Structure 1
Amino acid sequence: MTTPVLFIHGLWLHGSSWEPWLQRFRDEGYDPYAPGWPGDRETVTSSRQDESAIGGHGIDDVTAHFAALIEKLPEPPIIIGHSFGGMIAQKLLGQDYAKAAIAIDAAQIKGVLPVPLSALRATLPVFKNPANKNRTVSLTAKQFRFAFGNAVSAEESDELFERWTIPAPGKPLFEAATANFNPHSPAKVNTNNQNRGPLLLIASGKDHTVPESVTRSTLKQYRHSEAVTDLMTFPDRGHSLTIDSGWSEVADNCLGWLRKQSL
């Protein structure tokens, strides 16, 4: 039986953005798949046309959505998540839904402080209007360039924007922003779980949306757990590292880490 690998995208990207990863992992003998968030449609185009279905979904809602999918699998999967997908991957790992997890440029979990200014600027399209908590928000090509594509050429950034972006729910961002003031925040992760599978945190040195300092602060949240928690850094990459022309380097490093864990 081949090991299932569940890929979870973050805000503003469609699940199909994982397509190159799916093929690479399939070639390596895994059984990968990349379902969308609640409300996502099958394609980028259809998701853009029906954005009302995407709005209003928060962190707990999305986590429960993927937990239900995992329960239908023959065995717990390896979970690989990007951005908010990385936060969801950590939540599911802490809840023992996964045999291992890789969180790439993961959104801040409860306990991570402070929030860098570049992260606030990257998410300003959502926070500038409190009503966006229950709405979907789309990025412009210029906003995508700052939040995702700052480490690639302007031409590549625009191409990625046109190919993969969809509207995103504002609710997860509002929940993460208030996490440290809410004892029951959905952004809370069971970082003390001693029996969970191994976790790899990946940071990008040029990421505006989830700066490296956020990932390093996340690593500190796991200091009371003896379970494997590793950090890998790509100094010259931005938030688009899973979808841009350098994606294969990241994927190959993920595969190498999984082999070291005998997974």
Structure 2
Amino acid sequence: MSAPTPIVLVHGLWIHSTSWQNWMEVYQQAHYRPTAPGWPGDGDTVAATRQNAAAVANHGIEAITESYRRVIDTLDAAPVVIGHSFGGLIAQKLLAEGRARAAVAIDPGQIKGVKPVPLAQIRSGLPVLGKPGNKKKAVSLTRKQFRYGFGNAIPKAESDDLFERWAIPGPGRPLFEASSANFSRTSPAAVDTKNSNRGPLLIIGGGKDHTVPEVVAKAAWKLYRGSNATTEYQVFPDRGHSLVFDHGWREIAEYTLAWLERQGI
């Protein structure tokens, strides 16, 4: 019997890696070997990260991606990388580099070449982008900001609960890097979308997402038209940015499991 395929789960900005716990259990039951490392500077718990916000400050997309490269280097086989939000951007980078067997990018952060910038996305990014000095700082969302950016498609009480359970300070640098990517020749948000030698990629969008509006996720998918590798797109029309850890997480997790099975993984 072959060894279980490793799964590397990559969280996004403002959310702790322990938010993947339900996914870890589902993937273990499906005979995969999941792991969910945090970003550089993250504490082992939500509380520890909140207490030492300065530790996460000033880490950009390349530093975060490199931390996951090091994780992958310790594995005995190429993993499937599943990322949410900025984790979805990182998953695409790792797949294009040949470090992943396949990747799933859920509500992925904006890669270089994506042009739509909806008003909802601008409003969601203002807590960071509204102050240039935030680029080198750690920034925390308020409960109200979390409600708009993550919890707008779920009841307010659930949004507030998720905020208390999973929200952590995040580095401002990745948002500045992604927002300026189309004006930079060498942006860390760049992904080789023309690579035809990579493994399969699934991009998932949320129809009610404010932080990464569905038009942004779909625009990323369209950038892969120059590649002959498998690239699929799926939208969940009624879901917001909290879709991987709110009450409807199982629907998304099971869809990704079924997709991997269709890829023969």
Fold shared, TM-score > 0.5 on shorter chain: yes
2:181 is matched with: 179
Say yes or no: does 1:149 pair with 2:154: no
Q: Which secondary structure state, in structure 1, belongs to the residue aligned with residue 164 of structure 2? A: helix
Which residue, 36, 39, 55 being the options, matches 2:38? 36
Q: Which secondary structure state, in structure 2, belongs to the residue aligned with residue 66 of structure 1? A: helix
Between the aligned partners of 1:74 and 1:68, the Cα distance in structure 2 is: 13
- Give the Å deviation of 1:220: 1.1
- Deviation string, structure 1 residues 65-97 (Cα, Å, up to 9, x no partner): 100110110011000000000000000000000
Between the aligned partners of 2:11 and 2:221, the Cα distance in structure 1 is: 21
- Give the Å deviation of 1:137: 0.4
TM-score by length of structure 2 reads 0.99
Consecutive unaligned residues in structure 2, runs of 5 or more: none
2:137 is matched with: 135
Say yes or no: does 1:235 pair with 2:237: yes
- Deviation string, structure 1 residues 196-251 (Cα, Å, up to 9, x no partner): 00000000000001011001110111011000000011000000000100000000
Say yes or no: does 1:120 pair with 2:122: yes
- Deviation string, structure 1 residues 84-114 (Cα, Å, up to 9, x no partner): 0000000000000000000000011000012
Which residue, 80, 84, 91 being the options, matches 1:89? 91
Matches within 5 A, 1:1-80: 1-80=3-82
Q: Which secondary structure state, in structure 1, belongs to the residue aligned with residue 8 of structure 2? A: strand
Which residue, 185, 196, 199 being the options, matches 2:198? 196
Consecutive unaligned residues in structure 1, runs of 5 or more: none
Between the aligned partners of 1:37 and 1:51, the Cα distance in structure 2 is: 12
- Give the Å deviation of 1:127: 1.0
- Deviation string, structure 1 residues 131-162 (Cα, Å, up to 9, x no partner): 00000000000000000000000000000000
Matches within 5 A, 1:155-170: 155-170=157-172
Between the aligned partners of 1:78 and 1:147, the Cα distance in structure 2 is: 27
Matched residues, number = 263
Coordinate RMSD, CA, aligned = 0.4
Q: Which secondary structure state, in structure 1, belongs to the residue aligned with residue 259 of structure 2? A: helix
Say yes or no: does 1:224 pair with 2:226: yes
Q: Percent identity?
A: 54
Between the aligned partners of 2:130 and 2:261, the Cα distance in structure 1 is: 44
Give the aligned residue type for 1:145. R
Between the aligned partners of 2:157 and 2:17, the Cα distance in structure 1 is: 22
Q: Which secondary structure state, in structure 1, belongs to the residue aligned with residue 67 of structure 2? A: helix
Between the aligned partners of 1:38 and 1:54, the Cα distance in structure 2 is: 6
Between the aligned partners of 2:192 and 2:41, the Cα distance in structure 1 is: 27
Q: Which secondary structure state, in structure 1, belongs to the residue aligned with residue 25 of structure 2? A: helix
TM-score by length of structure 1 reads 0.99
Between the aligned partners of 2:235 and 2:225, the Cα distance in structure 1 is: 19
